[in-house]
């Protein structure tokens, strides 16, 4: 695993906040703003962790997660899914697709940092 995080998030303010937070902890954060570009980036150079929004243009977070789990190169990649919709069916769909951690927005910075460190094995 590396200290590189791929953040797939279309909301610019949220993406910048997460990038800033994790960069301060020493992580290298690549941001992709749509599902297709995010999946391509994950496949081209698998990061140590993917942080994935549920609702994205192009491909949904569930579609990306399903594709990552189907690829032997990324099937074990830790994936944290974020959603503004904390609905049970979203969580169930993410868990069925193989998500590592599901987190609802808004989230506490300390919780985000702790989850990222845990998923990165740090």
Could you tell me where the DSSP H helices lie in the chain?
12-24, 35-44, 61-70, 88-97, 109-119
Question: What number is the average pLDDT over the span 61-76?
Answer: 96
pLDDT band at 20 (very low <50, low <70, confident <90, very high): very high
- Let me know: does 35 contact 56? Beta carbons within 8 Å: yes
- Of all residues in the chain, the percent with pLDDT exceeding 70 is 97
Q: Which two tokens stand for residue 114?
A: 């702790």
The mean pLDDT value of the chain amounts to: 93
Chain centroid to Cα 20, Å, comes to: 15
Where do the domains of the chain lie? 4-119
Question: What number is the average pLDDT over the span 40-66?
Answer: 96
- Return the pLDDT at 22: 96
In whole angstroms, what is the distance from residue 71 CA to residue 64 CA?
A: 11
In whole angstroms, what is the distance from residue 43 CA to residue 101 CA?
A: 20
Q: What value, to the nearest 5°, has the Cα angle with vertex 98 and ends 93 and 102? A: 65
pLDDT band at 83 (very low <50, low <70, confident <90, very high): confident
Which pTM does this prediction carry?
A: 0.94
In this model, does residue 66 exceed pLDDT 70?
A: yes
- Let me know: does 102 contact 81? Beta carbons within 8 Å: yes
The hierarchical CATH code for the domain 4-119 is 3.40.50.2300
In this model, does residue 85 exceed pLDDT 90?
A: no
Q: Which two tokens stand for residue 97?
A: 């697709």
Which positions ≥6 away from 67 have C-beta within 8 Å? Answer: 39, 59
Per DSSP, what are the bridge partners of residue 75?
A: none
pLDDT band at 3 (very low <50, low <70, confident <90, very high): very high
pLDDT band at 86 (very low <50, low <70, confident <90, very high): low
């Amino acid at each position: 695993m590396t200290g590189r995080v791929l953040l797939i998030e279309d909301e610019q303010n949220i993406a910048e906040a997460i990038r800033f937070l994790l960069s301060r902890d020493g992580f290298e954060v690549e941001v992709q703003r749509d599902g297709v570009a995010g999946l391509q980036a994950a496949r081209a150079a698998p990061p140590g962790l993917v942080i994935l929004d549920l609702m994205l243009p192009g491909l949904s977070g569930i579609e990306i997660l399903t594709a990552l789990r189907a690829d032997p190169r990324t099937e074990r990649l830790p994936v944290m899914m974020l959603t503004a919709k904390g609905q049970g069916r979203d969580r169930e769909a993410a868990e069925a697709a193989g998500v590592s951690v599901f987190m609802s927005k808004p989230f506490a910075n300390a919780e985000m940092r702790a989850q990222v460190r845990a998923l990165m094995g740090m």
